[in-house]
Amino acid sequence: MYDQYNRKIDYLRISLTDRCNLHCRYCQPEISEHVPHNEILRYEELLRICRAALQLGIRKFKITGGEPLLRKGCSDFIAGLKRMEGVEQVTLTTNGTLLAQQLPALIAAGVDSINVSLDTLDAAYYAELTGGSLGSVLQALQELQAAGIPFKLNCVPLAENGLSDIRQLLQLAHRYNVPLRFIELMPLDCNANLQGLSGCEIRSLLEQAGLKLQPDAQRYGNGPASYWRIGSYAMPVGFIEPLHNKFCAVCNRVRLTSAGMLKPCLYSDDGIDLKHLLRDGISDADLLQTMQKIIYAKPDGHRFEVQAARFNMSQIGG
- Give me the mean pLDDT over the 3-19 stretch: 96
pLDDT tens digit sequence for 72-114: 999 999 999 999 999 999 999 999 999 999 999 999 999 999 9
Please give the sequence-ordered ranges of beta strands (E in DSSP) within 44-184, or none if there are none: 60-64, 89-94, 113-117, 151-155, 180-183
**Is residue 311 over pLDDT 60?**
no
266 SS3 class: coil
H or E stretch at 81: helix 74-82
Dihedral (C-alpha) 241, 32, 268, 199: value to the nearest 10 degrees? 0
Q: How far apart are CA 40 and CA 36, in angstroms?
A: 7
Quote the pLDDT of residue 305: 54
pTM for this prediction: 0.92
- Give me the mean pLDDT over the 117-131 stretch: 96
pLDDT tens digit sequence for 219-230: 887 778 899 999
Q: Are 304 and 9 in contact, with CB atoms under 8 Å apart?
A: no
